[in-house]
Amino acid sequence: MLGLALAAVCIVGGIGTWRAGTMLIAREPRQILTAPGDLPIERTALDQPGTPELVGWVAERKGSCGAIVLLHGRGSNRLANVQRAKMLFDAGYSVILFDLSGHGESGGTVQGFGYSEGQDAARILAYARQRFPGQKIGALGSSLGAASFVFATPQALADAYVLEQLYATLRETTAWRMPFHALRSLQADILLAQMSVRLGFGADDVRPVDRIGKIGKPLILLAGGADPFIDRGQVAALHDAAPASQLVWFEGAGHVDLLRYDTPRCRDAVLPFLSKNLCQAGHV
C-alpha cells in the first residue's frame, strides 16, 4: 500500500510538473497591436523560411544619432517599449520595436527564456543594420529581451547595450520563483528537467553569465534592488563577467518597468551612455 501511495504521489507530481512546464513555455495569445499616434510608426515584418515571422514597428528619425532596437520582457510585447521609444526618439534616435517569437503579433509556438529568442534578436539586429546603413546600432532589452540580446552573440552584435533586469542563470532565477524556500533548488531542477525534451536545449545552456563577457561592446546593466526573481548575487556575477560594464541600481524596485519606476534615474543613466557610445562627434 505504501508503494502504491508513493507511486500515486509521483504520478500526480509528474503530471503537475509537466502542466507547469506547459504553462511556462506556452506562447502568449497572438494579438493585433495598435501603433501609438505620437510616433511616426511604420509596421514591418521579417519572414524567413523555417523561422517564426517577427512583426515590429520602426520610427525613423531624420538625421538620427543612431538607431536603437528595443526588445520587451517575458509575456509582454512591443507596446511595453513605447515609452522608451518616445524617450529615445525625442533624444534624436531612430527606434525599432519588435515582438519576440511567441509574443504579440509574431509567430512561434513557445517561449524559450531568451535562449531560442537569441535567433530573433540576431535577425532583428541584422535588419537594423540593413535599414540604417552606416549608423551605429544600440540594443535595449528588458528581462527576456536582455537575455535575447546576450544569446544573439557572437552571430550579431550591436554597438552598445542597455540590459535591464537580466538574470545570470535560468536555474537561479527559476529557483527564486519556487514557493517552498527550503527546497527551491530541488523544485527548480525538477521543473527544468523537461526542457531538453520540450525545447531541444537544457537549463545548463541558458546561462547569460557565461555569454555576457563575450559581447565586448559598451554595456550598462540596470537592476532592481528588490527584484524577487533576480537577487543581487546574480547581478554581481553578471557585472563581474563583464568587468568593463556599468551597473545602475534602482533601490526598492522589484521586477518592474524601471523607466516607469524611476523615470529621471533611468533617463539620466541611459541617455548619456547611448550618446557617448552611439553618437558621432559633432552630431547635433
Give residue-wise pLDDT tens across range 31-87.
889 999 999 999 999 998 989 999 999 999 998 989 999 999 999 999 999 999 999
Mean pLDDT across 276-283: 70
Q: DSSP letter string over 33-87?
A: PPPPTTS-EEEEEE--TTS--EEEEEEPPTT-S-EEEEE--TT--GGGGHHHHHH
- Name the pLDDT band for 29 (thresholds 50, 70, 90): confident
What is the reported pLDDT for 3?
Answer: 53
pTM score: 0.89
Mean pLDDT across 210-220: 96
The CA distance from 235 to 166, in Å, is 8
Residue pair 244/277 in contact (Cβ under 8 Å)? The answer is: no
Place of cell 537577487: 231
- Name the pLDDT band for 182 (thresholds 50, 70, 90): confident
Residue pair 72/140 in contact (Cβ under 8 Å)? The answer is: no
The CA distance from 226 to 255, in Å, is 8
Buried-exposed string 122-139: b where 16+ CB fall within 10 A, e elsewhere: bbbbebbbebbeebbbbb
The CA distance from 283 to 68, in Å, is 16
Q: Which domains does the chain have, with CATH numbers?
A: 2-278 (3.40.50.1820)
Give residue-wise pLDDT tens across range 123-135.
999 999 999 999 9
**Alpha carbon distances (Å) from 246 to 161, 170, 269:** 10, 22, 10
State the virtual CA torsion across 208, 206, 127, 214 in degrees, nearest 10.
Answer: 40
